[in-house]
Amino acid sequence: MSLLGLFFVFIIIFLTTIFALKIRGMLWQPVVSSPQVRIFGYYSHILTRLKYRRNIQTEFQQSEWIKVRGWLAVAAEWAVIILWALWLGRNFLLNNTTQWLPVDWQLNVQSYFAWERLSQCGACVFWDGSFNGGAPLFTDILAPMAHPFAILLVLLAGAINGSKLLAVSTLILAGLAQWYWSKVLRLGLIPRIWSACLAVVGGYLVGRFEGGLVEVAFSTASFSLVVAASLHLAETGKRRVAVGLGVLAGLAFLSGQGYLQLGFLLGVCPALLILLLDKNFKFRPVWREFAWAAGVAILISAVLWIPFFHIYSQISKPTGIEPGDVQAMGYQPLNLVINDYPFYQSEYLGKPPWPGMTVNYIGWIPVLLALISWRLIPRSKLRIVAFFWLSIILIYGLSSAVTIRWLINLIPASEAILSMARFPSLISGMAVPFILALATWGLDLILNLKWPKLTLNLSAGRTFNVNLTWLTVLLLIWSVRDVYNFVSPWLEVWTVPEDAKFYDIASQIKPEGVQWVEPPYGDWGFHIAFLDNDIKLTNAYNHWTWRDRTPPPSFIHVTRDDVDTSDLHYSRRIEYVNVLSFPDNYYAYVEVDGTKIPCEATATGGNIDVTCQTDAPGQLMVMENSWSGWNVRLDGRRVSLIESPWLSTKAPAGEHVYKFRYRPWDMPLGAVLSLLGVGLAIWLWNNEPKKRKKKSKGGRK
């Protein structure tokens, strides 16, 4: 078993032991006259016995058993959901760096490699020097680069296996989130388990894996949990629920992509007003708890949004929504019930031909149950029903770009942000948890109806009664299996062919020292292998670029194209690729009177050390993007950087050591605000307002 596997086994055993000891301590308490040792208010049988060295007489606490029984029931339900998710994601649990997800996963996973340097150089991770001259770490918001759970997985399992574990975690999170919806609505056991299992395997989630869009699925599941917590807070108004909502929302805004964040802000938040306003269109008292939750969420997510908006003006990326990149609003609900893969690969019904963006299949049964629920849900709950349906409509309005185009026309200044949402169809998956919640609600009400019993006459005058409710259960199981049969191909991994030899080529191509290497354009396999070998890539495809800047020139260029072997830059052929060499394109050099004198350099993230020796003074050039936060020391003495797109400073004659360090102000500030958010959450948790007791009319007697 791998070290990662042992770690998770240890965590499971540790948590199970703590849970068991806590239950034992609650159920068997010492008699009042017996000595006892308590930890955090809980009786410890082991410590009491160790201290007093004798058996302590205990008695069973019948009153506590009711509470423990509820906990055990919840634990059993969670176990079913988690085991189902683990079985579905079993292929992603394999510790193998040559088994990948398809397409966009191979692009997005490249960002995770930066966190592998945390153990090497600490704060150097704030700068990702892997791509096209380097950039601040949190410039890339497609991957959950600032999410603590994603970071933990990368640190434990590495970039490749960590991102696959994130896919499994997404399945678990989606199931538990849908279970939370049902629990808040106080629905029965069978509807809770069914909807959670369907949420885990639903096309709105697993369908994203078809294109390797793990981060979209993770963000979808994260916001499903946030909406459930919002509903819980609106129903109870409890301060601790508000704290939980704030923490979950803050983490959801760190979950990557940006599409689902947009969907929540413009699709769900406006609909929340239905829960916050009373009949007279005045805010209910619970609005204060939502305000606290919003404050906690904003602070916790500050570690990402402060650095991002600091560099936002320097980012250039394709913008605008092309006609073929979005499906009309009226057609999108059909994706809930269509399970034909060739259909999703086509442009029928005006949709983009990329299944990973449009598949939301959950089948006819939950859709029909959601529609039936409209007639069954009591009028006292119409506020919640209205919230659900309005959210669904607003989400589909966003995913079809209707709302986006309307907002751009209404507020032209919003185009700079909204036009970045080039593929809004990805937002449509956010509507599915609402539909599943309505379906679960309808199912619960149907199961509570008086169902007839089927009586079977057996031999010897015996009869056997069959409750027709169980036929419904069989239908529910079939509905989950139907969805699984459709999405199961996307739960497989793609094994890198042996003849691809990405890693073999990477090991042979790696230059001595630090230099920029240009991989075959758009070939993610080479990108991953090169990054896994600490090779810096230039002129490599990325979903964003620096505004008005060009990537550094390559020292080595690897290409699949045919090359004239008589070319002066032709170096050699490795397997099926040609290698071109440009020996004058140094990573670091001193320019003296137009002559480049190469320097030795080491670079790990935002730590760059350069050693140069020249006979005359000149200007040191390091082919790394210059940005606020960089500083340089010459032989231990702080000196100034020269204004330039690249790191540059004056270089005196002789042998000198230059230490460039990226130590920005925005990331520490964001981290401090995030810690303040955690502190605020703890303070709010411990300062829940006490309920005011109503005074009797007769006064105190």
Evaluate if residue 374 carries a pLDDT over 80.
yes
Query: Per-residue pLDDT averaged across 350-365, rounded?
Result: 92
Q: How much is the pLDDT for 700? A: 39
Evaluate if residue 559 carries a pLDDT over 90.
yes
Query: Per-residue pLDDT averaged across 564-568, rounded?
Result: 89
Whose structure tokens read 């330039």?
A: 644
Is 21 strand, coil or helix? helix
Euclidean distance between CA atoms 428 and 203, whole angstroms:
11
| Enclosing H/E stretch for 638 | strand 637-639
Q: How many residues does the chain have?
A: 701
Euclidean distance between CA atoms 89 and 164, whole angstroms:
9
Q: For residue 519, what is the DSSP state? A: P
CB atoms inside a 10 Å sphere around CB 229: 25
Euclidean distance between CA atoms 353 and 326, whole angstroms:
10
Question: Model confidence over 80-93: pLDDT tens digits?
Answer: 999 999 999 999 98
Lowest mean pLDDT among 122-126, 287-291, 456-460: 456-460
Cα angle 631, 633, 638; round to 5: 85
Which residues, including other chains, have CB under 8 Å from residue 174's CB and lie 6 or more apart? 85, 199, 200, 202, 205, 217, 220, 221, 224
Q: How much is the pLDDT for 6? A: 66
Evaluate if residue 9 carries a pLDDT over 80.
no
Euclidean distance between CA atoms 393 and 390, whole angstroms:
5
Is residue 636 within 8 A of residue 658, CB to CB? The reply is: no
Euclidean distance between CA atoms 187 and 173, whole angstroms:
19
Cα distances from 696 to residues 221, 693, 700, 701, in angstroms, run: 47, 9, 8, 10
Mean pLDDT score of the chain: 89
| Enclosing H/E stretch for 659 | strand 654-662
Which residues, including other chains, have CB under 8 Å from residue 391's CB and lie 6 or more apart? 227, 267, 268, 271, 431, 434
Closest C-alpha to 645, from 630, 659, 618, 624:
624
Which residues, including other chains, have CB under 8 Å from residue 660's CB and lie 6 or more apart? 607, 608, 609, 610, 622, 624, 630, 631, 632, 647
Residues of the chain above pLDDT 90, percent: 64
Question: Model confidence over 624-651: pLDDT tens digits?
Answer: 999 999 999 999 999 999 999 999 999 9
Evaluate if residue 360 carries a pLDDT over 90.
yes
- Which tokens sit at 306? 């402060």
Q: For residue 283, what is the DSSP state? A: B
Is 217 strand, coil or helix? helix
Euclidean distance between CA atoms 613 and 474, whole angstroms:
79
Say how far residue 378 (Cα) sits from the centre of its chain. 36
- Which tokens sit at 583? 């020996």
Lowest mean pLDDT among 11-20, 430-439, 475-484, 592-601: 11-20
Say how far residue 36 (Cα) sits from the centre of its chain. 45
pLDDT bin (cut points 50, 70, 90) of residue 55 is low
pLDDT bin (cut points 50, 70, 90) of residue 54 is low
Closest C-alpha to 152, from 162, 160, 142, 161:
162
Lowest mean pLDDT among 8-17, 85-94, 126-135, 525-534: 8-17
Task: Please state at what angle helix 3-27 crosses helix 45-52, rounded to 10 degrees.
Answer: 80
Euclidean distance between CA atoms 660 and 569, whole angstroms:
31
Helix (H) and strand (E) counts in the chain: 25, 26
Residues of the chain with CATH 2.60.40: 588-662
Query: Per-residue pLDDT averaged across 316-336, rounded?
Result: 87
Euclidean distance between CA atoms 225 and 149, whole angstroms:
15
Query: Per-residue pLDDT averaged across 94-118, rounded?
Result: 85
Evaluate if residue 442 carries a pLDDT over 50.
yes
Q: How much is the pLDDT for 25? A: 67
Q: How much is the pLDDT for 366? A: 96
Query: Per-residue pLDDT averaged across 211-219, rounded?
Result: 93
Is 396 strand, coil or helix? helix
Evaluate if residue 2 carries a pLDDT over 60.
no
Q: How much is the pLDDT for 699? A: 41
Question: Model confidence over 279-325: pLDDT tens digits?
Answer: 888 999 999 999 999 999 999 999 999 999 999 889 888 887 887 78
Evaluate if residue 697 carries a pLDDT over 50.
no
Q: For residue 12, what is the DSSP state? A: H
Cα angle 57, 58, 60; round to 5: 155
Evaluate if residue 31 carries a pLDDT over 70.
no
CB atoms inside a 10 Å sphere around CB 675: 14
Domain 588-662 has what CATH class?
mainly beta
Closest C-alpha to 92, from 361, 485, 487, 494:
494
pLDDT bin (cut points 50, 70, 90) of residue 701 is very low
Which residue has better confidence, 182 or 419? 182
Cα angle 278, 280, 281; round to 5: 65
Query: Tell me, what amino acid is at 157?
Result: A
Is residue 238 within 8 A of residue 229, CB to CB? The reply is: no
Evaluate if residue 664 carries a pLDDT over 70.
yes
Which residue has better confidence, 470 or 580? 580
Query: Per-residue pLDDT averaged across 66-70, rounded?
Result: 78
Is residue 210 within 8 A of residue 102, CB to CB? The reply is: yes
Evaluate if residue 447 carries a pLDDT over 60.
yes
Question: Model confidence over 192-214: pLDDT tens digits?
Answer: 999 999 999 999 999 999 988 99
Q: How much is the pLDDT for 107? A: 83
pLDDT bin (cut points 50, 70, 90) of residue 490 is very high
Evaluate if residue 4 carries a pLDDT over 60.
no
Q: How much is the pLDDT for 84? A: 96
Q: Where are the alpha helices (DSSP H) in 513-656?
A: 524-532
Q: How much is the pLDDT for 247? A: 97
- Which tokens sit at 134? 């380097």
Burial of 175 (0-12, 13-18, 19+ CB in 10 A): buried
Say how far residue 417 (Cα) sits from the centre of its chain. 21
DSSP notation for 464-519: EEEETHHHHHHHHHHHHHHHHHHHGGGGS-EEPPGGG-HHHHHHHHPPSSS-EEEP
Q: How much is the pLDDT for 631? A: 96
Q: How much is the pLDDT for 44? A: 67
pTM given for the model: 0.89
Euclidean distance between CA atoms 590 and 511, whole angstroms:
20
Query: Per-residue pLDDT averaged across 91-112, rounded?
Result: 84
Evaluate if residue 469 carries a pLDDT over 80.
no
pLDDT bin (cut points 50, 70, 90) of residue 665 is very high
